Amino acid sequence: MPNLLEVILAVIIFAIPLYPKFPLTEVVGSYVNIRLDDVIIATSVFIWIIYQLKNKVKVLKEPILWIFIAYWLALLSSALNSISNHQIEPISILLLHSFRRIEYMLVFFIAFDAIKTKNNLKFPLVFLCLACIGVSIVGLGQKYLSWPIVSTMNEEFSKGQLLYMSVWTRISSTFAGHYDLATFMSVVLVIIGPVALLAKQKLAKIALLVTWLISFYTLTLTASRISIVAFWFSISLALFLIKKKLWIIPTSILIAFSIFNSAELSQRLLATIPSLQKKLAFLQIERIVPTGTPIAVPTQKIVFVPTGNITKPAVQDPTVVQVPTAVPTPSRLRPDDFEYPKVDLDAGVARSGEIRFKVEWPRAINAFLKNPLQGTGSGSITLATDNDFLRILGETGLLGLISFLLIPVWFFVKTIKQKGDTVNHKLNYIFLCCIISMFANAIFIDVFAASKTAYMFWIIMGIYYANLKFTKNA
């Protein structure tokens, strides 16, 4: 019989990725919403606290706890300092974002407490695979069957409005946006593929490989450049470390083929490196329109004006063009009811870089310079920085960034010091490569501030910690 924490962990692993981001109630003063996943996590943490009290708070004996506490103290110190000195954001918003970062990390402790024996490692993998299949089905339904999307890419979308994909839109499945989905897939695929090669039972090996292939196709549909590169590097390293080097070749061939077979992904990668694009012009990759976050460029404004039951774009004053990520329409309308302005994807890629390099990243650096030690408080530099390390640096300063980075450093040191060649030792290498994939994504995406990706990452880290204890390294 599974213990209660095992059941809770299974529910979290399955429910968090699969439940769409429908809001339950709005947080006043922001467009942050309380959702069902918050209720699930709050209930799970409450049960875990009771479990700890019954067991004399044994978590205090875990060495990793104190590194987490150091980061949490840095978070709260930054918020309190901002409240008393900077007054950039309302107190409730600063505290909300600080406590949400802590909330995301608490599942780490639920995960490692649920894994009592080596055999317990199997059930989270089963539910992770089921979640990946479910997420992929929803994503494919959005792509090919016009299933609706619930997004939080802007304030209006975050209210739970059902949207539909246009011909431009990259799938986001049940996630807030396509970048979050891509990050999730790029991390979990690093686990599923190598574990499939380590599995001894033929049926389990086949099931894992099928799950990996379906999930990998979902990753390519997101057309996220950083995620596909992060995944490629991380899984190659994982295969090398677990001594499955020959598998790097077919895996790399499949990834390369998928990139060139995806018109949007290949063009986005080529647009990132203009000189490479010229050299490979003979490939004649189909040019398509961009699918990024809505942004403004100096040309003409496009707005959607209702005309009967169908909405078509109407051109107004020549100022800016608004390019939607998903079709912002009530559920009764379909993508075919719309006409869209065509925009060069190369320009979209360039704008994406310019927003990061000229607006978001300098904004985070300026926040850091205001208070290098403590930053300006969580949530104080708007909703997006598109670099989670700069975001942490700007919001919590050097104290926050250093204490945060001590967590993966601790795992890295423990893993490279291990001696042994068992399956559990190899699992540690696989988990370490998950960290690498997540951190590579964090260079261009706010992955630790996105609830679904953050929850799943810290769950994986909790399982990683439990497995380290099995190999006598904790």
Distance CA 321, CA 299 (A): 6
Q: Where are the domains of the chain?
A: 4-270+347-470
Helices (H) and strands (E) in the chain, counts: 16, 4
Q: Each residue's pLDDT tens digit in the chain (474 positions)?
A: 568 999 999 999 999 999 988 887 776 666 667 888 889 999 999 999 999 999 999 999 999 999 999 999 999 999 888 888 765 567 777 888 899 999 999 999 999 999 999 999 999 999 999 999 999 999 999 999 888 888 776 666 666 677 776 655 788 999 988 899 999 999 999 999 999 999 999 999 999 999 999 999 999 999 888 999 999 999 999 999 999 999 999 999 999 999 888 777 777 766 666 544 554 454 444 444 444 433 333 333 333 333 333 333 444 444 433 444 444 344 444 444 444 444 455 555 556 677 888 888 999 999 999 999 999 888 888 777 889 999 999 999 999 999 999 999 999 999 999 888 899 999 999 999 999 999 999 999 999 998 999 999 999 999 999 999 999 755
Distance CA 308, CA 330 (A): 14
Question: Which pTM value belongs to this model?
Answer: 0.83
Alpha helices by DSSP H, listed for 417-448, are 423-442
Q: How many other CB atoms are found less than 10 A from the CB of residue 56?
A: 9
- Residues forming a β-bridge with 422: none
Q: How many other CB atoms are found less than 10 A from the CB of residue 321?
A: 18
Do the beta carbons of residue 364 and residue 394 sit within 8 Å? yes
Distance CA 253, CA 270 (A): 18
Contacts of 284 by beta carbon, 8 Å cutoff, 6+ apart? none
Write out the two tokens for 38: 């918050």
